[in-house]
Amino acid sequence: MKRAAIAAAALALALTGCSAADPEPTADGTVSRDTFLTTHGLAAMDAVEIIDHLDRQKVTERPTDLIASVRADELLLSSDDQEVVVDLPDNQTYVSIAPYLTSTHDCFYHSLTTCLGELDNEDIQITITDEATGEVLVDEATTTFDNGFIGFWLPDDATGLIEVSYQGRTGTAEFSTADDGATCVTDLHLT
Residue 30 pLDDT: 54
Instruction: Name the fold adopted by 46-191.
Output: Immunoglobulin-like (2.60.40)
- Answer with the residue of higher pLDDT: 39 or 186: 186
Domains of the chain, residue spans: 46-191
Q: What are phi and psi of 77, to 5 degrees?
A: -110, 135
Q: Is the pLDDT confidence value at 13 over 80?
A: no
Q: What is the pLDDT of residues 131-166, one digit of tens each?
A: 999 999 999 999 999 999 999 999 999 999 999 999
Question: Do the beta carbons of residue 146 and residue 53 sit within 8 Å?
Answer: no
Residue 81 pLDDT: 83
